[in-house]
């Protein structure tokens, strides 16, 4: 994650010729490998990743990026060792408890996408409070995908439209790519212009499968 800050530093600064990407997506990966390479416990890698998240958000805001979407916790992450999952959830609690005032000072709006019901109730409540507390901010729209999967997203949109069609609210013959896309998790945002994946892997890992149709990638 830290190494990719250099790439963001190359994005044109606000007011300098050359537009930045309007919407940047980042797959946050490689924290464990970063820690192992430095002979540190895996927890150190996740803590460093959480710290760099703030730096990335600040760099994007400074350069005029309007939308930043981070893949922080996938549906597959539940398969990790229980101790690691507990650590990741605790890091989320810490951010949602300690950093909301800072987000407001920097005019960052925070929201979450994904299936939240699997998270502990207290964490769900912290997410809702953070979204409410930052709802009026407009400098940077920060979306964090948690318990999210691209296949889940598409299936969820299909089920929503199927129920609407069964109720007679939607004509199946009138469903288009555009109308389908509006029912996805990021349906109210422009598609990502650029996706950065940290950690050295070269795959999408089930992230924003529909939204990435015309996105450029940096691995």
Active site residue 52: no
Question: How many whole angstroms separate alpha carbon 130 and alpha carbon 141?
Answer: 13
Q: How would you label 107-119 residue by residue, b for 16+ Cβ within 10 Å and e otherwise? A: ebbbbbbbeeeeb
Give the number of other Cβ atoms within 10 Å of residue 206's Cβ.
16
With a CB cutoff of 8 Å and minimum separation 6, the contacts of 142 are: 57, 68, 69, 70, 103, 108, 109, 110, 111
Question: How many whole angstroms separate alpha carbon 41 and alpha carbon 218?
Answer: 28
Give the number of other Cβ atoms within 10 Å of residue 202's Cβ.
7
Burial of 172 (0-12, 13-18, 19+ CB in 10 A): exposed
| Catalytic choice (29, 52, 147, 211) | 29
| Catalytic choice (77, 104, 137, 206) | 77
What is 154-202 written as a DSSP string?
HHHHHHHHHHHHHTTSS-GGG--HHHHHTTSTTTTSPPPSEEEE-SS--
Active site residue 29: yes
Active centre residues (catalytic): 29, 77
């Amino acid at each position: 994650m830290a190494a990719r800050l250099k790439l963001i530093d190359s994005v044109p600064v606000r007011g300098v010729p050359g537009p930045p990407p309007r919407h940047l997506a980042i797959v946050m990966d490689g924290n464990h490998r970063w820690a192992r390479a430095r002979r540190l416990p895996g927890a150190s890698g996740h803590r460093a990743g959480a710290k760099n998240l703030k730096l990335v958000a600040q760099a994007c805001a400074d350069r005029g990026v309007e939308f930043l979407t981070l893949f922080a916790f996938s549906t597959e992450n539940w398969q990790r060792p229980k101790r690691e999952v507990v650590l990741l959830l605790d890091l989320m609690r810490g951010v949602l408890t300690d950093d909301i005032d800072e987000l407001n000072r920097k005019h960052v709006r925070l929201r979450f996408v994904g299936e939240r019901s699997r998270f502990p109730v207290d964490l769900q409540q912290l997410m809702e409070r953070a979204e409410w507390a930052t709802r009026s901010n407009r400098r940077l729209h920060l979306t964090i995908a948690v318990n999210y999967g691209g296949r889940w997203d598409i299936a969820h949109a299909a089920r929503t439209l199927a129920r609407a069609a069964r109720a007679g609210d939607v004509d199946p013959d009138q469903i288009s790519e555009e109308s389908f896309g509006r029912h996805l998790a990021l349906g109210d945002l422009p598609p990502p212009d650029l996706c950065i994946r940290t950690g050295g892997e070269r795959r999408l890992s089930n992230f924003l499968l529909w939204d990435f149709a015309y996105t450029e990638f940096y691995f």
